[in-house]
Amino acid sequence: MAKEIKEIQTNDAPAPVGPYSQAVLAGSTLYCSGSIALDPATGEFVGGGDVQEEARQCLKNMDAILKEAGASASNVVRCTVFLSDLNDFSKVNEIYSEYFKDNAVAPSRSCVQAAALPKGALVEIDCIAEL
């Protein structure tokens, strides 16, 4: 039997900047697209070039999508963090750790440096959650 596949969309996170969904729920697994530091109300970048402020906004956007699907940070089992500069690793880790501080188990994760991120972002974060 095929899993039900449902698009998850919320106005509390930025609209996609391309032809993709904010998230897709397949059965009980939620696949959230990468979030960059856009303000959902204005579409403008948050952070003014501060990677920690960008990371906070990425996670705020991701959190809004998780909530729309009936999930939270505690449901996240996997993340990928994309950085425009791997030297920002420890700065982003501080913010990332704050977001997941109440999880019984930290999500698995990869963190990589990307040659370029959408709209010139310094950080992008995606996740997979189990509902």
For residue range 64-78, list pLDDT tens digits in order. 999 999 999 999 999
How do residues 47-98 score in pLDDT, each as one tens digit? 999 999 999 999 999 999 999 999 999 999 999 999 999 999 999 999 999 9
Give the contacts of 33 (CB within 8 A, at least 6 positions apart). Answer: 16, 20, 21, 22, 23, 126
pLDDT for residue 1 is more than 80: no
